[in-house]
Amino acid sequence: MTNSNAPAFIKLMKHPVKFRMFLLSKLPNAFFAGVRVKEINENSCTTVVPYKWFTKNPFRSTYFACLSMAAEMSTGALCLAHLYKRSPAVSMLVVKVEGEYFKKAIGVSTFICEDGMQIKNTIDEAVISGEPKMFRARSVGKNKNGEIIAEFFITWSFKAKNKI
């Protein structure tokens, strides 16, 4: 099973104006925080979140929720790519978020998820079986020096929608 629409979704994600309009309408907090998709393909997604007035905390680092948004977006964009205009439609939902922080985030933070093919396979399993399936996606955050600042695991649930 393949979703031949994934490249079309990726093209939309790479369009700066269309992507920002998507963020503003669907994820306004991420829009105002400056979370952006830096790179995306069917297997991986890289997102960035800046350190600025809107994203900082009183400890002079990036607020954990902003880091979490960037991590979640790196996994969620891959999910959306593999679900874009899919038939039958499949719903997706975050069911668990785990995060661990290793280093203070004091500049631009970059998150990468490389689980695109596993996400696609899990979605395919959900469609074939008709049962909800879960996948625990990993997103690693690094600073400008390439040092790991955080690691997140976002557990997604996928369920094929019933045809009526």
Alpha helices in the chain (DSSP H): 6-14, 16-26, 28-33, 64-83, 116-129
The pair phi, psi for residue 22, each rounded to 5°, is -60, -50
Query: In this structure, is residue 145 part of a structural domain?
Result: yes
In angstroms, the CA 163 to CA 151 distance is 38
pLDDT by residue (tens digit) across 53-73? 889 999 999 999 999 999 999
Query: In this structure, is residue 1 part of a structural domain?
Result: no
The torsion angle over the Cα atoms of residues 97, 102, 105 and 110, rounded to 10 degrees, is: -60
| Strand pairing report for 90-101 and 45-49 | unpaired
In angstroms, the CA 84 to CA 78 distance is 10
Full pLDDT tens readout for the chain, 164 residues: 556 788 888 888 888 898 889 888 988 999 999 999 999 999 999 999 999 988 999 999 999 999 999 999 999 999 999 999 998 999 999 999 999 999 999 999 999 999 999 999 999 999 999 999 999 999 999 999 999 999 999 999 999 987 65
H or E stretch at 121: helix 116-129
Query: In this structure, is residue 98 part of a structural domain?
Result: yes
Number of domain units in the chain: 1
The domain spanning residue 119 has which CATH number? 3.10.129.10
Query: In this structure, is residue 128 part of a structural domain?
Result: yes
Q: What range does the domain containing 48 cover? A: 6-160
In angstroms, the CA 90 to CA 109 distance is 31
31 Cβ partners below 8 Å, 6+ apart?
A: 20, 23, 24
